[in-house]
A and B are shown apart, each in its own frame.
Chain A
Amino acid sequence: MCFFFVEHKNKEPRHKRRLLLPGFHGCRESSNQRRPAPCCSCHTAIAICFIADCTSSSLQKMAPDDVNRRSAFRIFHRFPVRLTFGAKSEAKTVTQSKKRQQRENEADDLKRLAERTDILECAWHRRNDDVDEEDLEENLAETEAKNEPNVDIYGDVGSRADNEFEQIGGSTVIMVYICWVMLFVFAYVRDIFRRLGFVADKSNKELEKLKSFVPLFSDFEAFYQRNCYIRVRDVFERPICSVPGATVDLLDRVSHDGNWTYEYPGTTSKVINIASYNYLGFAQAAGPCATASVNSIDEEGVACCTTVHERGRSVSQAKLEALVAEFLGVEDAICFSMGFATNSMNAPCLVDKHSLIISDQYNHASLILGCRLSGASTKVFKHNDMGSLEKILRDAIAYGNPKTHRPYKKILIIVEGIYSMEGSICNLPGIIALKKKYKAYLYLDEAHSIGAMGKTGKGIVEYWSCDPKDVDILMGTFTKSFGSAGGYIAGSKKTIDHLRVASPTGYYSSPMSPPIAQQIYSSMSIIMGRDGTTDGAERIERLARNSRYFRLRLKQMGFIVYGSNDSPVVPMLIYFPSMCGFYGREMLKRKVGTVVVSFPATDMTEGRVRFCISAAHTKELLDEVLRHVGELGERSGSKFSRKAHLYRDQKIEW
């Protein structure tokens, strides 16, 4: 397994420094009331609620017997004196022995199940135990034989980099919790002071005329927003004013009232951009892509002003759909104007209330919203855990829907290619094996991996040398690697035809804007080498080198980095919520733009800095970022890893 439990060493003096985070400064008087705007973090919080809901409901579904046990009448079943009389003793011994036998059988079965499950813990989990992997490797060998060159920039398919989730000691976790408790204690104190009128209340609140209404924001979310998020608001939502390439111009802003309002002096500062999802560096304001999209405005205008069904897609969108299908090696594809809506609006077209969705623990909010809107039962399996997935699949087929006691009509497994917060790569061969065995359908969200992974940029399917036809729904977005906007769904012609007709976005929303579609078309052509250069292949290779180099260097310095070494999403764990503000601000001072994430987007104890590597970064830029991160790591004591010695003597080449 890939979990490492690390002994904790005495680090208290360092952590104590970090505890003093909330202060009282920055709450001066102002009567400026703000209208509540549903910002990004609100949505994240909502998403978290969804996840929590799904999880709790799934737990209930998974243990129907426990629910029975809690029923009010259970006492009557357990009276020591039974109301039936007669020769019972004989029957009792028979049933007892039967039961014992049954239990033994069950234990045996479980053991066998466990063994069988291990087969599916694919190559990269148990690289050295080849005994159980024969089947899988045979399969892989077959596919490799078909696609001749089996070694690419990531190495051999059979020995892909595994996902690492190095765990820290329990006492550090306790320190993180203490940090949160301190944060909330001070937040409450602030709230009390605010209510007493010692400091100005600048938070979102009701207008005078709405006093009689039930307050719109009174719950924990608003409390968190008002007292915790606002303390570090300057780290998020930084406006940019240039193309988000390898470097980006940030619009300078200052706040004189504790981040409630900002003033823009009009100056800008250039920082290294290691935060945007510009994996292949196609966010460019010049060059063939930009020119082509500008030209498409002359041909087709900036918008279509119609819905897809009323007056049809734009010509450029139709061209794009054909290219996407060809790129991915499937029969057909359909494109949508927004990546988020691709998930949330199309999942309901595929499953209904008689179906079951099995969703990964860390799936994106859009997928979870899609699950909710579809009305299907949802169960959640542990992140990338094939054993957990198989158990849920078996139980779901065997027991059916616990509410209606009918078998499910279909089962849809929803996973992502690269998980955007964990940096981990999904175990696609294992999932495909399970999917085939249990006749389930597979929905693969390649939002981050399309373009960025695989030898020719065809995403996680190519990375694992799987057959794209084994995945029923291939979904992806154009926001990331292609430097544009929108999303696609690709698959068999039958599936796509159904979506074309049934998807609500066809009836009610506008088709892709021509210049947006053109940008994707141009960048995808470059990746495919249609422009006659090797620019696309070079970008992919540079990204792979950059990611591996950056990740290994971070690990060598002693940071905990989650995920696979091949993934361009690099979450570096800093655990403490107070460190998020520290890293965000200090990195900006050193002219590096990074993303810091904490609760509610991640687990409470797992605050992190997320780097997104791009093909546009040069080795010099990465070295500069690494130097700054290393210095900050020294200053803040956030080099938590106990595995740095493994990398000490390793020579890391770019």
Chain B
Amino acid sequence: MVLAVLSGLFETSLLHLTIEGVLLLTVVYLVFRMNRPNKDRSSHRLTEKQKDELIAEWVPDPLVPETPQDHHVLNPRFADGKMTKNVSIEGQTYLNMASSNFLSFIGESRIEERTKQTIFKYGVGSCGPRGFYGTVDVHLDLEAELAKFLHCEEAVLYSYGFATVSSAIPAYAKKGDIIFADEGVNFAIQKGLQASRSRVEFFKHNDMEDLERILKIQEEKDNKDPKKAAKIRRFLVVEGLYVNTADLCPLPKIIEFNGSTRSVCSSTKAGLLESLERQEERNEGALVVWRLFGILKSLTFPFKMKRGIECERKMIHR
């Protein structure tokens, strides 16, 4: 076979061989040229002495700016005792219209008794993450109860309301995905969107026409490149009751759009929005991540405080 190739070589014309030879040499030359270190680089580099000079010159900004000392956050007034419907501040009693104790579970003695019993059984902290001996049986019970309550297959607990949505969004939406989000979503959701590294398209607050418009734009893009479109996951992020503007999201309309998008619906005040929830259940396509922020207010403290959850469970079924 080698002979055949060699004889073939001799049969081809000399011109052919020369051109191929030249081409081959050019390729070899270029390859070796590329691997040689770039001489121009040294001109971009600074010597250590030059660096020292620059370092001596450099003046960093202060770590934090000055804060005006009369800022109201720096001069708080503390409420004595529990934050029930009445609150006492510096000896005077006021009607409490400020805290979000919607269902008035603060100060409920049944809950508090149960909480105390739980501390005396489990201690206060779980001393470990969920994966490593930090899951307490109470967590599992509550997760099961919550799933039942929300008519979902499963539920997962987070220890901090604020962190729930901001870590749940990046768990699903990855780089290259698209998130359609309402402009009015709260800060925690915005942080989640930022952390997800997906492309975020905002539509005007509660404006379904605007949402339709950006979905159409996306559809046109998809039609141009259907191969790519088949790999992009889409999410729709809205809030049940907008904490910034206090209005409800038009869930039935949003569900109509849901043919092509998963909706991550974060409801801030789920306990008050039961009717809304029920609508949501019918939308089997929606992937519901509930923020357990205010279902019943005993949940607002970290779930690592197992006792709160246990009494929580009792209350739901009463």
Contact = CB atoms under 8 A, between A and B. Distances in A.
A303 B54 contact: no
A480 B45 contact: no
Contacts of B82: 299-301
Contact of A298 (B112, B287, B308): B112
24 contacts: A34-B153, A38-B172, A40-B131, A113-B48, A207-B284, A214-B232, A214-B233, A216-B262, A240-B133, A244-B123, A244-B128, A248-B133, A273-B133, A304-B300, A315-B78, A397-B51, A479-B127, A482-B125, A485-B125, A485-B302, A504-B187, A505-B162, A513-B301, A516-B301
B122 A285 contact: yes
B71 A304 contact: no
A412 B64 CA distance: 12
A654 interface: no
A243 B122 contact: yes
Contacts of A209: 284-285
B78 A312 contact: yes
A35 interface: yes
Contact of A106 (B47, B161, B284): B47
Given A216-B172, A239-B139, A301-B83, A313 B48 contact: no
B162 A439 contact: no
B78 A318 contact: yes
B118 to A, nearest CB: 9
B91 interface: no
Contact of B42 (A103, A306, A482): A103
Interface in A480-500: 480, 482-486, 494-495, 497-500
A286 B134 CA distance: 19
Nearest to B131: A40
A75 B262 CA distance: 48
A347 to B, nearest CB: 12
A350 B60 CA distance: 13
Interface in A61-117: 64-65, 69, 74-75, 77-78, 99, 102-103, 105-106, 109-110, 112-113
Contacts of A200: none
A312 B66 contact: no
A38 B158 CA distance: 10
A310 B262 contact: no
Interface of B: 30, 33-34, 38-42, 44-51, 54-55, 58-67, 69, 71, 73-74, 76-84, 87, 98-101, 106-107, 111-112, 115-116, 119-137, 139-140, 152-156, 159-163, 166-168, 170-172, 174, 186-188, 191, 194-195, 230-234, 260, 262, 284-285, 287, 297-298, 300-302, 304-305, 307-308
Interface hub of A42, A286, A305, A506 (most chain B Cβ within 10 A):
A305
A236 B132 contact: yes
B44 A65 contact: yes
B64 A301 contact: no
A290 interface: yes
A504 B60 contact: no
A646 interface: no
A303 B81 CA distance: 11
B177 to A, nearest CB: 8
Contacts of B122: 242-243, 285
A494 B78 contact: no
Given A238-B133, A243-B121, A301-B83, A312 B77 contact: yes
A407 B59 CA distance: 10
A283 B166 CA distance: 29
A312 B171 contact: no
B171 A38 contact: yes
Contacts of B231: 214
A306 B30 contact: no
Interface hub of A99, A290, A309, A485 (most chain B Cβ within 10 A):
A485
Given A34-B154, A398-B51, A373 B106 contact: no
A340 interface: yes
Contacts of B99: 304-306, 310-311
Interface string A274-317: 01111000011110011001100111111111101111111100
A106 B38 CA distance: 16
Contact of A110 (B48, B98, B106): B48
B83 A306 contact: yes
B286 to A, nearest CB: 10
Nearest to A301: B82
B125 A105 contact: no
A562 interface: no
Interface residues of A, number: 136
A152 to B, nearest CB: 26
B120 A286 contact: yes
A393 to B, nearest CB: 8
Given A41-B131, A302-B115, A410-B60, A515 B305 contact: yes
Nearest to B235: A216
B48 A109 contact: yes
A485 B78 contact: no
B57 to A, nearest CB: 9
Contact of A305 (B46, B83, B140): B83
Contacts of A519: 124-125
Nearest to B116: A294
Given A214-B233, A278-B127, A440-B60, A65 B41 contact: yes
B63 A472 contact: yes
Interface in A31-45: 33-43
A306 B100 contact: yes
A294 B120 contact: yes
Given A312-B79, A345-B162, 5 more contacts: A285-B120, A305-B83, A338-B159, A473-B63, A509-B188
B63 A243 contact: no
Contacts of B125: 283, 478-479, 482-485, 516, 519
A622 interface: no
Nearest to A510: B300
A409 interface: yes
A113 B49 CA distance: 11
Contacts of B233: 213-214, 216
Contact of A303 (B55, B78, B234, B297): B297
A173 interface: no
B160 A341 contact: yes
Contacts of A283: 123-125, 127
A148 interface: no
A341 B287 CA distance: 24
B308 A303 contact: yes
A394 B52 CA distance: 8
Contacts of A508: 162, 186-188
A399 B140 CA distance: 53
Contacts of A64: 44
Contacts of B111: 302
A37 B51 CA distance: 50
A302 B308 contact: yes
Interface hub of B46, B77, B83 (most chain A Cβ within 10 A):
B83
A455 B61 CA distance: 35
A509 to B, nearest CB: 4
A508 B266 CA distance: 15
A121 B231 CA distance: 49
Contacts of B191: 345, 373, 504
A35 B144 CA distance: 13
A95 B210 CA distance: 63
A300 B81 CA distance: 5
Interface string A431-465: 00000001111000000000000000000000000
A445 B111 CA distance: 36
Contact of A302 (B45, B106, B186): B106
A285 B55 contact: no
Contacts of A294: 116, 119-120
Contacts of A509: 160-162, 188
Contacts of A99: 39, 42
A172 B163 CA distance: 41
A369 interface: yes
A310 B262 CA distance: 34
Interface hub of A34, A69, A306, A495 (most chain B Cβ within 10 A):
A306
